[in-house]
């Protein structure tokens, strides 16, 4: 039996018989293969090493946050540096409803959706009013102010201790099976988000968003309803992120703003986008898994030093991978969707 | 009531002058480099913890520790400029993310070696004690810090208005391409501004370190104030920055003494800035020039 790599083909010779498998990147980019792998991975881990399930959950959630953020970035033509605000809104809304009203995950999901919609609509005019850099600055500040509010009204938000006693997301009695089911749910949400944004980027809506991304004035002159596209591209991703806040609250049974609202959490999401593939939606999945596993490996290897080494590695990767990890697979340069911040005139 | 008004006004001046020091560098970088320096938070942490490292860990005299800290900070600024800003000038998302990561690294390194339990304290008090202004007692150190804030800002303004280098900086802030055609060495000026901007922060931190609490995450709070002031003033405009510093100072003083709820300071300031942005989207100084 002989195995060789020849002209982007994997050749397997077994006696007189020959088997070949194309390994060109376009085949590797087939969504079905990757989705299949993503589904098989938790099953495999559940059987072999279930202690890794929380990392897979974390990876899926990070990717699921970064995907709507990518949509928001493309559709508004601006970089939102405060996506965790909506996670906080959804998480706190769900946690408060669960604790004070005794509601389970299903009704609190509705509460989180309403909270996401409310804050999304409330904040969405910013994408029209504020210019590129001002928008970035303000979105950066909102979660920090929200965090302060949670410290001011400790009777409601319980400060840095957070809200305890949120009803569990899934409860089947067996802890490992519970983790597995939660993992599959996180994967399901992430894949649904991926599907929604993927379909969106292939729809009639996509050229309008990319036109806004390139030049708002030209887009308007071409007949694009800039305000409508921006409001939609801001509000729906905000709702999608609020759902993830709901997930966090019920998954951990607690929700504290100090975990999700500081810049460090935002930076993690930003790095998922940037290192994964610069707001490229499939890159977000790679980025989510990469960041979650890198963090785990560093904690295992370096212990107390991992919080120091983690950002250093991210910085090196940011500077050495101009198109992110997903860019490594690309043959041609893709359509650049990442908006510029228009800092200079 | 009169006492409250008096205290509010006094603290408006004190806080406003301190915020000038805190935000002047940020505003300058925005104005000249046209870069949103999200790594600005590291300057605050580096000032305190590098000085502490030289002074406490290496047991050097305080003056020597401060000098070494300034030199090291200047070198770090140059390294950041060449390593990130100059290389990715056209890819702002990389610059912003990279600078944010640098601030996070500084934060984490400080936290690893000198956590809050380490009780870092810099004995940089120039004059101890407090003084009664009307019916309000104020630490003399704070008054000196505020005075320094005004003096440093005045020196900066004079430098930009009266010197050749200042003229070059202003020219770049007006029009980068024309400045290049006119023979201004843009690279050198950029680097010079990067180093210059660390000075107000260093002065501010050394002055307030003995009076206010320091911890490894304090940089984000100060950057938060710098962002509010710069956005309100109009990014990069020193005149706007001066006015905005005192407005934010007033809002903070108002929240602390009139409303008597200091925890509302930042929330109140953000609301004021958002309202200001709705009325004047480009901030107080509706110009992109430095002055």
Give mean pLDDT, residues B147-171. 91
Note whether residue B288 is domain-resident.
no
A118/B160 Cα distance (integer angstroms): 47
Write the DSSP assignment of A314-338 as a string of letters: HHHHHHH-TTHHHHTT-SSPPP--P
Note whether residue B169 is domain-resident.
yes
Contact yes or no for A267 and B224 at CB 8 A: no
Contact yes or no for B102 and A134 at CB 8 A: no
DSSP state of B29: I
The whole-chain average pLDDT of chain A stands at 87
Residue A343 banded pLDDT, cuts 50, 70, 90: very low
Note whether residue B287 is domain-resident.
no
Residue B147 pLDDT greater than 60, yes or no: yes
Cα–Cα separations (whole angstroms), residue A263 to A180, B104, B211: 30, 9, 26
Query: Could you tell me how many CB contacts below 8 A there are between chain A and chain B?
Result: 112
Vertex B215, ends B212 and B221: CA angle to 5°? Answer: 75
**Which residue do the tokens 């004035």 mark?**
A217
DSSP state of A5: E
**Which residue do the tokens 């228009």 mark?**
A342
pLDDT > 70: what percent of chain B? 98
**Helix, coil or strand: residue B139:** strand
Q: Chain A partners of B97 at a C-beta cutoff of 8 Å?
A: 267, 270-271, 274, 318
CB proximity A312 to B under 8 Å: yes
Q: How many CB atoms lie within 10 A of CB A305?
A: 14
Whole-angstrom Cα Rg for chain B: 19
Write out the H or E segment, with its range, that includes residue A4: strand A2-6
**Helix, coil or strand: residue B129:** coil
Q: How many CB atoms lie within 10 A of CB A321?
A: 17
Higher pLDDT, A131 or A157: A157
B223/B26 Cα distance (integer angstroms): 8
pLDDT for res B286: 62
List the alpha helices (DSSP H) in A224-302: 226-252, 257-260, 263-277, 281-302
* Tokens representing residue A105 in the block: 């995950």
pLDDT for res A330: 61
Note whether residue B195 is domain-resident.
yes
Digit-coded pLDDT (tens) for A117-155: 999 999 998 888 777 677 887 788 889 889 888 988 889
0.90 surpassed by pTM:
no
Overall number of domains in chain B: 1
Give mean pLDDT, residues A301-311. 91
Q: Chain B partners of A311 at a C-beta cutoff of 8 Å?
A: 101, 104-105, 108
For residue A317, what are the contacts with CB-CB under 8 A and spacing of at least 6? A275
* Tokens representing residue B188 in the block: 């050198």
Residue in chain B lying closest to A125 (CA):
B278
Q: Chain A partners of B99 at a C-beta cutoff of 8 Å?
A: none
Contact yes or no for A318 and B98 at CB 8 A: yes
Rounded to a whole number of angstroms, the distance from the CA of B176 to the nearest CA of chain A is 9
Note whether residue B95 is domain-resident.
yes
> Taking a C-beta distance cutoff of 8 angstroms, is the pair B51, B206 a contact?
yes
Residue A24 banded pLDDT, cuts 50, 70, 90: low
A327/A287 Cα distance (integer angstroms): 11
Q: Chain A partners of B227 at a C-beta cutoff of 8 Å?
A: 137, 140-141
Closest C-alpha among A79, A31, A65, A74 to residue A282:
A31
Within 13 Å of residue B195, how many CA atoms lie on the same side as its CB? 14
Which range, A81-90, A320-329, B23-32, is most confident?
Answer: A81-90
ipTM reported for the complex, 2 dp: 0.88
Contact yes or no for B281 and A312 at CB 8 A: no
Contact yes or no for A267 and B104 at CB 8 A: yes
For residue A193, what are the contacts with CB-CB under 8 A and spacing of at least 6? A64, A67, A68, A240
Residue A5 banded pLDDT, cuts 50, 70, 90: confident
Q: Chain A partners of B266 at a C-beta cutoff of 8 Å?
A: 144-145, 148
CATH number for the domain harbouring residue B147: 1.10.3470
The lowest-confidence range among A334-338, B94-98, B200-204 is A334-338
> Taking a C-beta distance cutoff of 8 angstroms, is the pair A336, A290 a contact?
no
Torsion of CA B176, B180, B182, B185, to 10 degrees: 110
Length of chain B: 291
pLDDT for res A337: 53
| A54: Cα separation from own chain's centroid | 16
- φ/ψ bin of A330: left (φ > 0), alpha (ψ from -120 to 50), beta (otherwise): beta
Digit-coded pLDDT (tens) for B208-229: 888 888 888 889 889 889 988 9
Residue A345 pLDDT greater than 60, yes or no: no
Contact yes or no for A134 and B281 at CB 8 A: yes
CB proximity A138 to B under 8 Å: yes
| Domain extent for B246 | 2-126+133-279
A88/A115 Cα distance (integer angstroms): 10
pLDDT for res A263: 82
Contact yes or no for B227 and A140 at CB 8 A: yes
Write out the H or E segment, with its range, that includes residue A18: strand A17-22
Residue A29 banded pLDDT, cuts 50, 70, 90: low
A265/B104 Cα distance (integer angstroms): 11
Give mean pLDDT, residues A5-20. 79
The lowest-confidence range among A79-88, A101-110, A207-216, A246-255 is A207-216
DSSP state of B117: G
Residue B105 pLDDT greater than 70, yes or no: yes
pLDDT for res A132: 67
Contact yes or no for A145 and B274 at CB 8 A: no
The lowest-confidence range among A71-75, A242-246, B74-78, B280-284 is B280-284
Contact yes or no for B94 and A129 at CB 8 A: no
Higher pLDDT, B266 or B22: B22
Digit-coded pLDDT (tens) for A178-208: 999 999 999 999 999 999 998 998 888 888 8
Higher pLDDT, B54 or A219: B54
Digit-coded pLDDT (tens) for A226-271: 999 999 999 999 999 999 999 999 999 999 999 999 888 888 898 8
Nearest to A141 among B34, B98, B270 (CB): B270
* Tokens representing residue A90 in the block: 């959804």
Write out the H or E segment, with its range, that includes residue B67: helix B62-80
Residue A67 pLDDT greater than 90, yes or no: yes
């Amino acid at each position: 039996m002989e195995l060789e790599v020849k002209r982007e083909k994997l050749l397997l010779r077994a006696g007189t018989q020959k088997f070949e498998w194309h390994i060109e990147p376009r085949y590797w980019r087939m969504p079905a293969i990757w989705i299949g792998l993503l589904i098989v991975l938790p099953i495999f881990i559940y059987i072999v090493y279930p202690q890794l399930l929380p990392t897979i959950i974390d990876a899926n959630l990070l990717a699921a946050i970064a995907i709507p953020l990518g949509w928001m970035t493309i559709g508004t033509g601006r970089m939102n540096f405060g996506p965790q605000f909506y996670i906080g809104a959804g998480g706190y809304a769900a946690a408060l409803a669960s604790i004070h009203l005794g509601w389970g995950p299903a009704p609190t999901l509705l509460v989180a959706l309403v909270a996401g919609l409310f804050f999304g609509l409330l904040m969405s005019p910013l994408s029209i009013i504020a210019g590129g850099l001002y928008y970035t600055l303000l979105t950066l500040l909102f979660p920090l102010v929200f965090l302060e509010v949670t410290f001011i009204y400790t009777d409601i938000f319980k400060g840095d201790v957070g809200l305890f006693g949120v009803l569990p997301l899934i409860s089947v009695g067996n802890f490992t099976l519970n983790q597995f089911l939660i993992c599959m749910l996180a994967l399901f949400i992430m894949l649904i988000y991926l599907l929604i944004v993927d379909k969106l980027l292939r729809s009639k809506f996509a050229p309008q968003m990319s036109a806004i991304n390139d030049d708002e004035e030209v887009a308007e002159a071409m007949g694009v309803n800039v305000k409508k596209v921006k409001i939609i591209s801001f509000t729906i991703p905000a709702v999608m992120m609020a759902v993830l806040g709901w997930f966090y609250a019920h998954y951990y049974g607690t929700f504290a703003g100090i975990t999700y609202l500081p810049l460090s959490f935002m930076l993690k999401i930003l790095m998922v986008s940037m290192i994964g593939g610069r707001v490229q939606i499939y890159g977000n999945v790679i980025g989510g898994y990469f960041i979650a596993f890198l963090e785990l490996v560093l904690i295992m290897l370096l212990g107390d030093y991992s919080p120091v080494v983690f950002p250093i590695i991210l910085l090196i990767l940011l500077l050495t991978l101009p198109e992110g990890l997903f860019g490594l697979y690309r043959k041609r340069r893709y359509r650049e969707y990442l908006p510029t911040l228009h800092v200079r005139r | 009531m009169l006492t409250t008004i008096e205290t509010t006004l006094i603290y408006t001046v004190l806080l406003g002058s301190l915020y000038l020091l805190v935000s002047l560098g940020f505003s300058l970088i925005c104005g000249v480099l046209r870069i949103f320096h999200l790594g600005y938070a590291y300057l605050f942490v580096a000032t305190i913890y590098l000085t502490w490292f030289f002074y406490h860990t290496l047991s050097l005299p305080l003056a020597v520790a401060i000098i070494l800290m300034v030199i090291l900070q200047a070198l770090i600024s140059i390294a950041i400029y060449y390593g990130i800003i100059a290389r990715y000038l056209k890819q702002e998302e990389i610059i912003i993310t990279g600078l944010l990561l640098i601030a996070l690294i500084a934060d984490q390194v400080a936290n690893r070696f000198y956590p809050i339990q380490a009780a870092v304290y810099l004995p940089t008090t120039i004059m101890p004690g407090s003084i009664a202004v009307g019916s309000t007692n104020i630490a003399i150190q704070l008054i000196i810090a505020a005075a320094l804030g005004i003096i440093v800002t005045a020196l900066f303004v004079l430098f930009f208005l009266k010197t050749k280098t200042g003229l070059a900086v202003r020219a770049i802030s007006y029009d980068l391409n024309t400045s290049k055609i006119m023979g201004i060495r843009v690279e050198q000026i950029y680097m010079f501004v990067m180093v210059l901007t660390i000075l107000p922060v260093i002065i501010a931190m050394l002055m307030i370190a003995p009076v206010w609490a320091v911890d490894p995450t304090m940089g984000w709070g100060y950057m938060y104030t710098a962002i509010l002031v710069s956005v309100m003033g109009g990014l990069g405009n020193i005149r706007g920055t001066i006015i905005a510093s005192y407005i934010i100072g007033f809002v903070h003083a108002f929240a602390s003494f009139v409303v008597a709820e200091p925890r509302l300071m930042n929330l109140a300031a953000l609301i004021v800035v958002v309202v200001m942005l709705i009325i004047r989207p480009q901030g107080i100084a509706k110009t992109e020039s430095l002055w």
